[in-house]
Amino acid sequence: MKLQRKNRRALALGALAVSGALALTACGSDNNNGSGAGSGNSSASAASNAGSIKCDNAKGQLLASGSTAQQNAMALWAKNFMQACTGVQLNYKGVGSGAGIQEWLQGSTAFAGSDSPLKPEEIQQSKKNCSGGQGIDLPMVGGPISIIYNLPGVNDLVLDAPTLAKIFNGKITKWDDEAIKKLNPTAKLPSTAIQPFHRTEDSGTTDNFTKYLIAAAKSDWPYSGGKSWQAKGGQSAKGSSGVAAGVKQTAGAIGYDELSYATSGNLQMAQLNTGASAPVKLTTDSASKAIADAKIVGVNGDLALKLNYATKAEGAWPIVLVTSEIVCSKGNKADTLPATKAFLSYIASEDAQSQLASMSYAPLPAEIATKVRAAINSLS
């Protein structure tokens, strides 16, 4: 129980700051990953992984920032890496995908974490910093996006894309609305007001959630989508942890968040009527079924993925994101290149990827992982 309290406290802190081996190794089993599931990876696990980490002359300070969706994984990976490569101080800040990309484009960080692929204009802008190359997406962490809610006494809630779109667009405002009743005929739905939570800052999680609404409920979601929240009303919260905390503290609340935050916060999660024969529950397996259908659409070494958000495949959870690490294909800074390649090689390895499911993430499919490792080896 003590460990769980520590992990919940770490999650509530929001932004992750991993700076130096002392900050991580001194914590022992409290690895600041913010995930109760992830906390099962003890120092013994870290030690077993250390033998598979190749430091390759990595040293100095490695700065990175971006997606909060992958924070929990990054905390554990950073801890393992710095225990093996004691000459490196790794600092990953969870500031959101949009801010992370901007910091990287400005040359402030060695790489960025983003839940959405680089836009064409961002790739063009990256060529200023990537001498002889460009920014590329390296898929790394599969992040199932849950629909979390706070409605005591109502378990196994089922929703669908049109209903979600109307809820987050302010068209459905009470939990006993006829549309929700139709999806949950045996549930005792209260007349409690619905309090939708969305992200304050530019967020890849927002981008992927709204891509799902656009793909599966276009007539009920009249927005173009993107990292910025566009609908009116609702309550905003900073970061994945902020949304989780807001929903947990507010009766009648609903929000979208990564599975790792939902499970560590013991939050209620809705099922989805996708058009399959039965409502789909969110698990790492049901998310992996959707990620396995992703197609690589990037060019010139970019491994950007395109996901099928409107899938009706049996047992497939359609609301997923894949966090990519953004780096230069060529022209990375010489002083951070060895540490960047060593760390990225580690987190793309079978050892590191095998740890993801225990933290409520989905590991990379084997075919994609092989291409990511080859891309990392070619970085210069």
Q: How far apart are CA 47 and CA 61, in angstroms?
A: 22
Domain map of the chain by residue range? 2-142+326-377, 145-290
- The DSSP call for residue 20 is S
Q: What is the pLDDT of residues 136-188, one digit of tens each?
A: 999 999 989 999 999 999 999 999 999 999 999 999 999 999 999 999 999 99
Q: Which CATH class is domain 2-142+326-377?
A: alpha beta
What band does 365 get if pLDDT is binned at 50, 70 and 90? confident
Q: What is the pLDDT of residues 81-116, one digit of tens each?
A: 999 999 999 999 999 999 999 999 999 999 999 999
Helix (DSSP H) and strand (DSSP E) numbers for the chain: 15, 13
Q: Which fold has domain 145-290?
A: D-Maltodextrin-Binding Protein; domain 2 (3.40.190)
According to DSSP H, which parts of the chain are helical? 2-12, 21-25, 43-50, 71-84, 97-105, 120-126, 161-168, 178-183, 204-216, 239-249, 259-264, 284-291, 337-347, 350-353, 366-377
Query: According to the model, what pLDDT value does residue 218 have?
Result: 96
pTM for this structure? 0.74
Structure tokens given for 52: 């598979």
In order, the DSSP letters of 68-129 are STTHHHHHHHHHHHHHH-TTEEEEEEE--HHHHHHHHHTTS-SEEEESSPPPHHHHHHHTTT
Structure tokens given for 273: 């009527």
Residue 141: half-sphere exposure toward Cβ, Cα within 13 Å: 35
User: What single-letter amino acid sits at 62?
Assistant: L
